[in-house]
Amino acid sequence: MSKSPAVPVSEYGKPLPGKTTVITCGKRGCKVKRTIKVQDAFQVKFCVEHQKEAAREKARARRKAKRDAEGTKASMRAVAA
């Protein structure tokens, strides 16, 4: 009788049944490897530690772009008036 293969476990302690892959964190200088499901590979780029930091950076950039766009609209309205 053979044992069933070990099911990979995520960083949160939950089992990851199905196909998995290992990625390396996308943060420069970080070499941490993370096991993820294959279908999540398109959206996971960072280790758990850097994931929240990257989300905050992305949100800041999005808010800044929105603020700059609104400023441009306001200045265009002032010129037109």
Task: Give alpha helix (H) positions in the chain.
Answer: 48-80
DSSP, collapsed to helix, strand or coil, labels residue 8 as: coil
pLDDT at 59: 96
Element (H, E) at 35: strand 33-37
Rounded (5°) CA angle 56-62-67: 125
Mean pLDDT per 10-residue interval, the chain, length 81 residues? 63 77 90 89 89 93 91 67 60
The domain limits of the chain are 20-80
Both tokens assigned to 7: 């099911």
Is 26 within 8 Å of 36 (Cβ atoms)?
A: no
The answer to whether 4 and 15 are in contact (CB under 8 A) is no
